[in-house]
Amino acid sequence: MGIETKQEASSEVKGSGGISSGHDRLPAGSKLRFFALAATLLVVVPVVLGRSPYYITVLTNAAVLAFISLGVWVTFSIGRMNLAQGAFAMVGGYITAILSTRYGLSFWLCMPLSGLVSAALGAFVGWPVLRLKGVYFAMITLSLTEAIRLLTLNGGDVTKGATGIVNIPRPGAIGIFGLTIVPEFSGADPLPFYFLACGLLLLGIVAVWRLSTSRLGWVFRSLRQNEDLATSIGINVGKYRVIAFAICCFMGGIGGAFFAAYHQNIYPASYTIADSVNFMLYCFLGGLDFILGPVVGAFLLVIAFEILHAVQDYQALIYGILMIACMLWLPNGILSLAVRRSSRESPARK
Amino acid sequence: MTMAILEIQSLTKRFGGLTAVNDVSFSVEKGAIVSVIGPNGAGKSTLFKLISSFVSPTSGRVDFNGHTITGMPAHEVARRGVVRTFQETTIFKEMTAMQNVIVAHQLRCRASSVGIFFSSATARADEERFQASAAEILDYLGLGPVGQMIARNLPHGNLRALGIAVALAAEPRVLLLDEPFAGMNIEETDAAVKMVRGIRDRGVTVILVEHDMSAVMRISDKVVVLNFGTKIAEGTPSEIQQNESVIEAYLGRADEEIGH
């Protein structure tokens, strides 16, 4: 034990002492990595794959799924396994669907509103439910996904039941003084949606990175490590749990709004328990210790799923085996391969 | 006469049929070191949880500086200045010692959550203050050299000091120490006794639950003895050492246990 302790200690000494002074869970050069990712998504991919709508569609999906999973990652940071993210994406999607088809509200207003409604619902439900821990919280959130699905199925005229809401308008143009900043989204060109998806994802990464490295991130982690101790030093545990959960639900709502406008429809079957589980799996696969974990996980799994399309009959089987293999041999996620043992935080899998 | 900073009035706590704390009253003078002793299961830890509002009493109340704190959320009681430590070495294991103490400065945070997110000037000033204050607390408790170590790798002796450092960062007026000397050898206990006195000299009133009788007798201004949840004696260490019912409660092992 002595040797290991020493190694970890000495690697820690090199890190910064405080909380805000740049101590984060990304390896050194994280800004560089981020800009590399941004350049790849915004420049390289459109140039190389711009003419093949299929790939752009796959990557658009992956980007928004990664964005939604980032929210789940935030709830992991307070030590809760959230299996309700599908429900909050569904809520966001229906809010956008209803507001845009019934009241003709612009997508650009619907999207933030969807996020806010999901966050408010998350705070309302989260206040009592977040007292639960571990498998109990996971089970409650799992049933929440199902509850929201049933709610939309039986929503009568508001949600249109099993027929769902169709013909949701695409995002319109944004202009100031007659100058068009964002052109109207058309069905023919997948690139505008792709850019919107990447924009959301990059913004989400920056926001979560900022959150996680700021004092708030440390408060969240203190909750994960010991709620009683956090209470004893005056941290309002209930309040911060709800803040973290509401941030998560906000991101779910935004993602749901995107997909509603992207697919131009939403049904009660749009988000099922499997989707909620997938959002969590992306986090696991990429690595809970890393902000980019859910992003890496989402892109890998979504792309792998598409590649496995070729062997259709065995797709689900191979997918499942891959998942089990990853969990067995890479319990800290794929990104743990890239990072040496420095400043590791054990994941919240209590 | 010095003013009572903490007034415990007829506190009772029942868990089902079991009365863990039964009608306990005593007061704690400002700047004192008060020890609560008693055999295992006497209700000492429950009493601590009642004072720090981690558990609410069946009846009775606790007044802090003349205001009733019973029934307040535990984090609010901590904010007012009644801060507890834990029996086990309870710390944030995956953070460095330094980060443990910096996080514990949350109460002194002036920036709003939004300000923290956008790294406002207030938030940056906060962090600078916390960093300096945390370094000072770590040095004071002899943890300066291990400040950058991940807490779970710290030696056992340092863990308890870190637990106290975390509590001190919350700027307590009254500090509740749960068995601060447990498992220590004589030299370690001597050092810890000095440390507790030092904390008192910083203006913090200290209440401790402890098994180590010789340490309790050396350090305390007042000793409160519990047995089966009931207060059986209260007084200076020398009064307690001669108290008949206390000796009885310790079942004749009084001579060695009470430190004669």
Given CB atoms, is A345 within the 8 Å cutoff of chain B?
Answer: yes
Contact at CB, B92 and A225, closer than 8 angstroms: yes
Segment A253-284, tens digit of pLDDT: 999 999 999 999 999 999 999 899 889 989 98
- As a whole number, the mean pLDDT across chain B is 88
Query: In B, which residues are within 8 Å of A226 by CB distance?
Result: 90-93
Please indicate whether, in this complex, the C-beta atoms of B96 and A17 are within 8 angstroms of each other: yes
Name the residue with higher pLDDT: A33 or A22. A33
- Provide DSSP, A261-287: HHHSEE-GGGS-HHHHHHHHHHHHHH-
User: A126 and A241 in contact (C-beta within 8 Å)?
Assistant: yes
Quick check: A215 and B153 CB within 8 A? Answer: no
Of A5, A214, A229, the CB nearest to B117: A214
Tokens of B239: 């009064």
Asked if residues A148 and A267 have their Cβ atoms less than 8 Å apart, the reply is no
pTM of the model: 0.87
Contact A19 B113 (CB under 8 A): no
B181 Cβ under 8 Å from any chain A Cβ: no
> How large is the ipTM?
0.89
Q: Give the residue among B210, B229, B226 at the shortest CA–CA distance from B218.
A: B210
Structure confidence at residue A211 as a pLDDT band (50, 70, 90): very high
Average pLDDT over residues B94-117: 89
- pLDDT reported for residue B114: 86
- DSSP 8-state class, residue B38: -
Which pLDDT score, from 0 to 100, does residue A318 have?
77
Kindly list the structural domains of chain B, giving each domain's residue range(s) and its CATH number in brackets, ordered by start.
1-81+172-260 (3.40.50.300), 90-171 (no CATH)
Cβ separation A221–B95 shorter than 8 A = yes
Residues of B in contact with A23 (CB under 8 A): 99
Predicted confidence (pLDDT) per residue in A93-104, tens digit: 999 999 999 999
How high is the pLDDT of residue A42?
87
Give the burial string for A251-289 (b: 16+ CB within 10 Å, else e): bbbbbbbbbbbbebbbbbebbebebbbbbbbbbbbbbbb
Asked whether the beta carbons of residue A218 and residue B94 sit closer than 8 angstroms, the reply is: no
Nearest CA in chain B to A11: B149
Mean pLDDT value of segment B206-219: 88
Q: Do B107 and A233 touch (CB under 8 A)?
A: yes
Cα A253 from chain centroid (whole Å): 10
Q: Is the pLDDT of residue B96 over 90?
A: yes
Looking at chain A, which residue has its C-alpha nearest residue B107?
A234
Say yes or no to pLDDT of B173 above 90.
yes
Q: Mean pLDDT score of chain A, rounded to an integer? A: 84
Least confident stretch, A22-26, A118-122, A201-205, B243-247: A22-26
Q: How many interface pairs between A and B have CB atoms less than 8 angstroms apart?
A: 126
Rounded percentage of chain B residues whose pLDDT exceeds 90: 52
Model confidence band, residue A16 (pLDDT cutoffs 50, 70, 90): very low
C-alpha A79/C-alpha A73 separation (Å) is: 10
Q: Rounded mean pLDDT of A219-238? A: 93
Average pLDDT over residues A285-307: 88
Distance from the B170 Cα atom to the nearest Cα atom in chain A, whole angstroms: 5
